[in-house]
Chain A
């Protein structure tokens, strides 16, 4: 696409110094003469021989008006039809063969028709084509500043010239029209994208660049000056579009390569605006040099943009930038190649610039689309990953909640158990206390004694159960002992019995909650006996863990209960109960009672797995 500009510049600067070999063939003479704008017939004199292609500004500098080109040749007697190919006539032209008008443009005075890039072709035959002397007149209306003149004209066999005409048509009309269509579509498409996604600035600048480039490209295909009323206005607008579009391209490059620093952007826009203002406001006589300068500046700006993108491609190593850089380099390389061919430094006649020009467009659209697709892929991956994470988090949460729920269940069960036991005791205990009180007050019948003993037993059991329900299974015996110790000591001391405790090696000693209860029950029963029956003033309680054995000894200085126990209806049962519990603990219970006191000794294994038979 940009190749057209390049090619245009190349042709503009070098057109007059090179004559393609096939052009201008078939004529005996080619001459040119000037006339005024309104002349309808060629001037009588002032003819000078010329070679084609011709740009008359070199011969008649600054001449704006009409130039007649006269071609003369001698036809054969029985000539076959001849083809006539005119590459272009800059700007508007009329064609007259042997005095007959065979074709021409509409606007021969301002606004001039724009035929500068329009190839024309005729097949000429008798009677228009005469045997002997023939004369072709081409009347060209043009403006010196726009390289007014005539392109190569060929007269020859139609089978030779027709393909040449077709190729010329393809190059000068079809491909540019195709390019314009393509560019327009890109401009609209990416413009839409940008409108819907304002943060993608590079899309916006690319769209603007494309649309302005369409306006500029109209220069190659427009056949009139519409919507402008003069060639100058058209050309001026065209150059404005060119410069603006290149500025947009530069802006695109800056954004695309993530170099869009505010200061750089501002400077670019400022310079671009100044150039545009100059192009719009300048008087006509100054237009030509300024135009050349701005076009040159635009070209440099274009190369700067290419350089930025190529450098970014090199640094970032991203695929899409690389492809874009390659696509940008293609027309430049083609332009260089064509220049070399044009200068005949390279052999061949194939020009690639116009073919490669659409590469830029394709490259840019590939790069932008690639980025878009990559972004979409990223989003898709992100979504997938997010979903995964959500799943994982949900699972973790569910597990956590499950565990928490389980823990709460355990806690609730414990609490429930506790409150159940407590409620039981609140109700039952109250009844028990009241019955114990009633029975105790009534005095001691034998039956009542047993019942009293049983009630007290139940009460004490309940009490221990409640006390130990506050502990969990991890608490050591030493901890579980504390409430009982406190309670018994308090009662014993209130009754005037001094109570000494000796705990040895109990750190970390655990019996398990059931066996704890048996152990504590023995202790409680023994101390209750001391309280009620011993008449002692002192009691020593020693609990000792030695190896795998637990030893309990309770020694009081009372008067012994061997004799006393017999007189107590419940005494034997209390003792039996203690023995039973000792057996359950897998241990032995020894009681040695005498006048100087009673010694109760319980030996049992700490581990439940060593049952004594």
Chain B
């Protein structure tokens, strides 16, 4: 549980995009625990999500991948264009790091592993509310691989967010690379903060910055990227 002092005082509006009622219920519950003041809106499909995002103001959108009318990742370019202030977070399965990386390349600034325990989900949401982003060793390792050999994408990376040459990811700073390397080795935020003389919060902010740098920002680029990955026709 995050310390209540750290929590944002402002009321938060969170959009949960998922078609499974039990998942929606669980996410709502966990959200309520992590941020008691937060208000949750629900959307069961891409169309509903677009409608909600156009109509109201949200701080955070939790996107499921498998929606009845399409892939949740399809919403990312649309959000970049129509709701740029909303932080997009994909709700992904454990072990599906390829999807997570794709989402990050599409502009998501975080991810939740829906098969993690409630406590972990709470931790992740708490980190996001503090302006950070959760990151785990598998994702860190993937990003390092991506940065090391952005093009041509090796076979192992071909099916993840390998963007076309024109939108190859921006350079990460030395510090960001260090953070990634330590995460990939399994070090906790506290350990990383200690060894790099940072605050724990800063480590999570680094993660968010890394995601932002990885995102393909131009709309055309994102569409192209999605098309390359077979997400769009």
Residues B115 and A429 in contact, CB atoms below 8 Å apart: yes
Residues of chain A within 8 A (CB-CB) of B97 are 470
Residues A485 and B1 in contact, CB atoms below 8 Å apart: no
User: What sequence of 0s and 1s flags, for each residue 113-154 of chain B, a beta carbon within 8 Å of any chain A beta carbon?
Assistant: 011111110010000000000001110000000000000000
Residues A498 and B118 in contact, CB atoms below 8 Å apart: no
User: What sequence of 0s and 1s flags, for each residue 4-37 of chain B, a beta carbon within 8 Å of any chain A beta carbon?
Assistant: 0000000000000000001100100100000000
Complex Cα gap A422–B26 (Å): 18
Residues B22 and A434 in contact, CB atoms below 8 Å apart: yes
Residues of chain A within 8 A (CB-CB) of B190 are 489, 493, 498-499
Give, as a whole number of angstroms, the nearest-CB distance from B102 to chain A: 16
Which residues from 354 to 413 on chain A have a C-beta closer than 8 Å to any C-beta of chain B? none
Residues B136 and A466 in contact, CB atoms below 8 Å apart: no
Complex Cα gap A426–B114 (Å): 8
Complex Cα gap A498–B188 (Å): 10
Residues of chain A within 8 A (CB-CB) of B115 are 422, 425-426, 429-430, 462-463, 466
**A467 and B94 in contact, given A430-B26, A434-B22, A494-B119 (Cβ under 8 angstroms):** yes
**A493 and B23 in contact, given A469-B95, A483-B136 (Cβ under 8 angstroms):** no
A491 contacts the other chain (Cβ, under 8 Å)?
yes
Q: Which of B22, B183, B185 has its CB near the most chain A CB atoms (within 10 A)?
A: B185
Complex Cα gap A499–B187 (Å): 10
Residues B184 and A482 in contact, CB atoms below 8 Å apart: yes
Among B1, B93, B120, B138, point to the contact of A425 (Cβ < 8 A): B93
Among B184, B185, B188, point to the contact of A499 (Cβ < 8 A): B188
Q: Nearest B residue to A484 by beta-carbon distance?
A: B186
Complex Cα gap A571–B190 (Å): 30
**A493 and B189 in contact, given A429-B115, A433-B117, A483-B138 (Cβ under 8 angstroms):** yes
B171 contacts the other chain (Cβ, under 8 Å)?
no
Residues A422 and B94 in contact, CB atoms below 8 Å apart: yes
Residues A490 and B120 in contact, CB atoms below 8 Å apart: yes
Residues B123 and A494 in contact, CB atoms below 8 Å apart: yes
Which residues from 486 to 517 on chain A have a C-beta closer than 8 Å to any C-beta of chain B? 486-487, 489-491, 493-494, 498-499, 501
Residues of chain A within 8 A (CB-CB) of B184 are 482
A329 contacts the other chain (Cβ, under 8 Å)?
no
Residues of chain B within 8 A (CB-CB) of A462 are 115
A481 contacts the other chain (Cβ, under 8 Å)?
yes
Complex Cα gap A459–B114 (Å): 13
Interface of A is mostly: helix
Which residues from 438 to 473 on chain A have a C-beta closer than 8 Å to any C-beta of chain B? 459, 462-463, 466-467, 469-470
Q: Nearest B residue to A487 by beta-carbon distance?
A: B120
**A425 and B186 in contact, given A433-B117, A437-B118, A490-B123 (Cβ under 8 angstroms):** no
B48 contacts the other chain (Cβ, under 8 Å)?
no
A418 contacts the other chain (Cβ, under 8 Å)?
yes
Complex Cα gap A493–B96 (Å): 25
Residues of chain A within 8 A (CB-CB) of B185 are 482
Give, as a whole number of angstroms, the nearest-CB distance from A163 to chain B: 95
Among B114, B117, B186, point to the contact of A486 (Cβ < 8 A): B186
Residues A491 and B118 in contact, CB atoms below 8 Å apart: no
Residues of chain A within 8 A (CB-CB) of B191 are 489, 501
Residues of chain B within 8 A (CB-CB) of A429 are 115
User: What sequence of 0s and 1s flags, for each residue 165-191 of chain B, a beta carbon within 8 Å of any chain A beta carbon?
Assistant: 000000000000000000111111111
Residues of chain A within 8 A (CB-CB) of B1 are 494
Residues of chain B within 8 A (CB-CB) of A499 are 188, 190
Residues of chain B within 8 A (CB-CB) of A470 are 95, 97, 138
Residues of chain B within 8 A (CB-CB) of A422 are 93-96, 115
Complex Cα gap A499–B192 (Å): 12
Residues of chain B within 8 A (CB-CB) of A486 are 136-137, 183, 186, 188
Q: Which of A433, A434, A493, A501 has its CB near the most chain B CB atoms (within 10 A)?
A: A433
Residues B123 and A426 in contact, CB atoms below 8 Å apart: no
Complex Cα gap A273–B90 (Å): 91
Give, as a whole number of angstroms, the nearest-CB distance from A489 to chain B: 4
Q: Which of B114, B115, B184 has its CB near the most chain A CB atoms (within 10 A)?
A: B115
Q: Which of A466, A494, A499 has its CB near the most chain B CB atoms (within 10 A)?
A: A494
Residues B93 and A426 in contact, CB atoms below 8 Å apart: yes
Residues of chain B within 8 A (CB-CB) of A466 are 94-95, 115
Complex Cα gap A424–B72 (Å): 21
**A489 and B188 in contact, given A426-B114, A482-B137 (Cβ under 8 angstroms):** yes
Q: Nearest A residue to B20 by beta-carbon distance?
A: A430
Among A421, A426, A469, A482, point to the contact of B186 (Cβ < 8 A): A482
Complex Cα gap A430–B64 (Å): 15
Complex Cα gap A463–B187 (Å): 20
Residues of chain A within 8 A (CB-CB) of B137 are 482-483, 485-486
Complex Cα gap A608–B138 (Å): 27
Residues of chain A within 8 A (CB-CB) of B95 are 418, 421-422, 466-467, 469-470
Residues B94 and A481 in contact, CB atoms below 8 Å apart: no
Residues A433 and B186 in contact, CB atoms below 8 Å apart: no
Residues of chain A within 8 A (CB-CB) of B123 are 490-491, 494
Q: Which of B22, B120, B136, B188 has its CB near the most chain A CB atoms (within 10 A)?
A: B188
Q: Nearest A residue to B200 by beta-carbon distance?
A: A493
Residues of chain A within 8 A (CB-CB) of B120 are 487, 490-491
What are 11 A-B interface contacts by the 8 Å CB criterion? A418-B95, A422-B93, A422-B96, A425-B93, A426-B114, A467-B94, A483-B136, A487-B116, A490-B123, A493-B188, A493-B190
* Top-8 shortest CB links A-B: A482-B186, A489-B188, A485-B186, A482-B137, A429-B115, A425-B115, A470-B95, A422-B93
- Chain B residues proximal to chain A, CB less than 8 Å: 1, 22-23, 26, 29, 93-97, 114-120, 123, 136-138, 183-191
Extra 14 A-B pairs, beta carbons < 8 Å, given A483-B137, A489-B187, A494-B1? A422-B93, A422-B94, A422-B95, A422-B96, A425-B115, A426-B93, A426-B114, A430-B115, A466-B95, A467-B95, A470-B95, A485-B137, A487-B120, A489-B188
